Structure 1
Amino acid sequence: MSTQKPPTAAVIGTGTIALGWIALFAARGLRVRVSSTRPDAAEYVTEALPGYAATLPDGALDPATLLDRISFVADLRDAVADADLVQENAPEDLALKQKLFARVADAAPPGALLLSSTSTLLPDQLGAELAEPGRVVVGHPFNPPHIVPLVEVVGARGADPALVARAVDFYRGLGKHPVVLRRALPGFVANRLQTALLREAIHLVREGVVTVGELDTVVTSSIGQRWAVVGPFEAFHLGGGPGGLRHWFAHLGAGLERGWESLGRPPADEETVETILAQADLSFARRPYPELAARRDRRQNAVIAALRTEDPAAPAPDSARTSPAVSQA
């Protein structure tokens, strides 16, 4: 029987993303220290945790089991002291995050992984006030982070490749699918793709082509299901028949730019936003948020489980729920 001490993760914040990380880290056997400016952080997390515990990727766990691995530390320095890694989830305020990471770097062990869940800010910016700016690595999850496999890993310019590799190993040990971006740019990859689709979705609703509810049905009944099993490039490769993507470009590629030119550029003005919100209320307001989130999580887990059954060799969460190793610098 192993007597190795489980890694300690300091999670900064108690928002939606932080809650997902807290639940997943605890489920994988890490000791989790939660640092939050909320005076009621312990009560808030305790109340929210059952919803996350019920939808963990490889089966529900008793929330009490997770809470036994979680502690709440008001002082940031105490929270990150002797931690193996820090996962930051503060609001997307650059000045706030810079000051936060400066404090974290000063108090955390020299070899601790300093990770940020940011979806918009670049690692060079986040570490700007550190003696070693390249020490901060972005580990951007896709919501909900306790379920969706992707983590976009982004290192600062000139960051030690070994540091990025440590972050990749950590996330992979959680059962995630980390993808290292070769270049940092705002929004990274997944959110840029999502934003491009959202822009056209808003355009189509604003122009009265479909409603919000109908647009979601179009996506979930077509490209959403397709993209769950093949990405855009492979989908069009298959669309090209035996000749693949080369054949597809030769016969249909000439019309790509014309198609791009016809895409909408809707304004995000009050009228557009109100149109979207009014229709969204009709589609979603009938159910409370926890019910909608639980339904989403059950379906997401069902898709992941089905894909894992079809392809047993694909990466999967550690069903033994053992702590992932955190390599040292």
Structure 2
Amino acid sequence: MGAERVAPADVRTVACVGAGVIGGGWVAYFLARGYRVVAWDPAADAEQRLRHLVDRAWPALTELGLAEGASIDNLTYEAELADAVAEADVVQESAPEELELKRRLLADIDAVTPPQVVISSSTSGFGMTEMQVNCAHPERTVVAHPFNPPYLIPLVEVVGGEQTAADVVAWTSEFFRLAGKSVITMDREVPGFIANRLQEALWREALHMVAAGEATVEQIDQSITDGPGLRWPIQGPCLTFHLAGGQGGMAHMLDHFGPSLQAPWTRLESTELTTELRDAMVEGCEREAGDRSIDDLVAERDRGVIAVLRSLGRA
């Protein structure tokens, strides 16, 4: 019998493979959460750059609050990949977004990492299905997609590939929750995951408007920072539109404004507002709202927007 996988709550050592901006951000975050971190990167100057990044991130992490026992001194840098993963309870891979590189590196990690250890990838666009093809143990490979900088932005999107075991996805989600992250466990793979697809839609429309002379870069940024962006930290786009329907919520909003989906406002093709889609949106908002009424949500939103404005010195 081989060694058993440690419980998510018992993880003590994290191996970070790749020590660039994302990998280094992970190193800083895990150190701040009290883990021992062992890092590896093939670049000649990687250790120097990594330690500089951690030093620069540490004041912000200290302000947020360090876990008991957290210390920069808990970072070890290894010259060999096998040494970096030898005692790991979990591995976080953060190599550049090149598919063949990811495939080779994940296979290399898989070959030298103890078989019970989960191997997680920080990829921002590739599915694990297309990355795990050369792994001898693809069942323990999973995506845990962070946002830059990983030491500050809470969200992590977790999703397995076709060969990933369900218990590995569950283990990974629980580990990151216990590590202090806000975790979305996705039901299925989709290119770019959830948040990046939403960011990309906004970004593409911004580029269209600049290219067509319809808006300047400054106007586009102001339209978000002084407009809908103030609401999104408190309630996402779905609950925001839920409130746009007044006391009727999402149902009223879709029934009233649904036809405008066909208006040529953006260069993105609109999906058809079927009865099934309408009902899914309404039911989803009701689940998210829980026992909060429309009035409760409005008050929550207003308090949150005021807090954001005040924290930024804009109110």
TM over 0.5: yes
- The structural deviation recorded for 1:6 is 6.2
Distance in 1, matches of 2:166 and 2:78, equals 32
Q: What CA distance in whole angstroms lies between the structure 1 residues aligned with 2:242 and 2:41? A: 47
Deviation at 1:59, TM superposition (A): 2.5
Counterparts in 2 of 1:57 and 1:188: CA distance versus 1, 3 Å: farther
The structural deviation recorded for 1:42 is 2.2
1:262 and 2:270 correspond: no
Runs ≥4 residues deviating over 3 A:
none
Deviations 1:265-284 (A, max 9, x none): 7xxxxxxxxxxxxxxxxxxx
Normalising by structure 1, report the TM-score.
Answer: 0.75
Deviation of the 1:208 alpha carbon: 2.4
**CA deviation after TM superposition for structure 1 residue 158, in Å:** 5.0
User: Helix, strand or coil: the match of 2:42?
Assistant: coil
Query: Does the 8 Å CA contact 2:128/2:142 hold for their aligned counterparts?
Result: yes
1:108 deviation in Å?
0.9
Residue correspondence of structure 1 range 63-142 to structure 2 within 5 A: 66-142=71-147
| 1:49, distance to aligned residue in structure 2 (A) | 1.8
* Distance (Å, rounded) in 1 between the aligned partners of 2:62 and 2:133: 36
Q: Does 1:13 align with 2:14?
A: no
Q: CA RMSD in A?
A: 2.3
Q: Would the alpha carbon gap of residues 60 and 44 (structure 1) be closer, same or farther in structure 2, given more than 3 Å must change? A: farther
Contact 1:6 1:31 in 2 (8 A): no
| Structure 1 counterpart of 2:284 | none
Gaps of 5+ in 2: 1-8, 269-303, 309-315
What is the one-letter code of the residue matched to 2:253? W
Aligned to 2:250: 245
Q: Which amino acid aligns with 1:41?
A: A
**Structure 2 partner of 1:153:** 158
Superposed displacement of residue 186, structure 1:
1.0
SS at 2:133 equivalent: coil
| Counterpart code for 1:55 | A
State the one-letter code of the partner of 1:75.
Answer: E
Cα distance in 2 for partners of 1:58, 1:114 equals 30
SS, match of residue 231 in structure 2: helix
Q: CA deviation at 1:96?
A: 1.3
Equivalent-residue separation in structure 2 for 1:218 and 1:182 (angstroms):
33
Equivalent residues of 1:94, 1:121 under 8 A apart: yes
Q: Select which of 200, 208, 221 maps to 1:203.
A: 208
Q: Give the letter aligned to residue 264 of structure 1.
A: R
Report the alpha carbon displacement of residue 256 of structure 1 after superposing the two structures with TM. 0.8
Distance 2:65 2:80 in 1: 31
CA distance in 2, matches of 1:133, 1:111: 12
Equivalent position SS for 1:243:
helix
**Residue of structure 1 equivalent to 2:194:** 189
Residue identity opposite 2:36 in structure 1 = R
| 1:52-108 Cα shifts (integer Å, max 9, x gaps) | 1122285366xxx63301011010111111211110011111111111111211211
1:224 paired residue among 214, 219, 229: 229
**Which runs of 5 or more residues in structure 1 are unaligned?**
266-302, 308-329
The answer to whether residue 60 in structure 2 is matched with residue 50 in structure 1 is no
* 1:9-48, Cα deviation, whole Å (9 max, x unpaired): 1101121111110001011111111101121222212222
Percent of matched pairs sharing the same residue: 41
Q: Relative to 1, partners in 2 of residues 1:5 and 1:133: Cα closer, same or farther, differing over 3 Å?
A: closer
User: How big is each residue's C-alpha offset from its partner over 1:146-197, in whole Å with a ceiling of 9 and x where there is no partner?
Assistant: 1111100011125322111110111101111111111101111100000000
Matched residue of 1:54: which SS? helix
CA distance in 2, matches of 1:251, 1:98: 48
Does 1:36 pair with 2:41? yes
Counterpart code for 1:124: T
- Given the two structures, how large is their TM-score scaled by the length of structure 2? 0.78
How many aligned positions are there? 262
* 1:295-314 correspondence runs (5 A): none
Cα distance change of structure 1 residues 70 and 242 upon mapping to structure 2, 3 Å threshold? same
Q: Which residue of 2 is the match for residue 313 of structure 1?
A: none
Residue range with higher mean Cα deviation, 127-136 or 111-120: 127-136
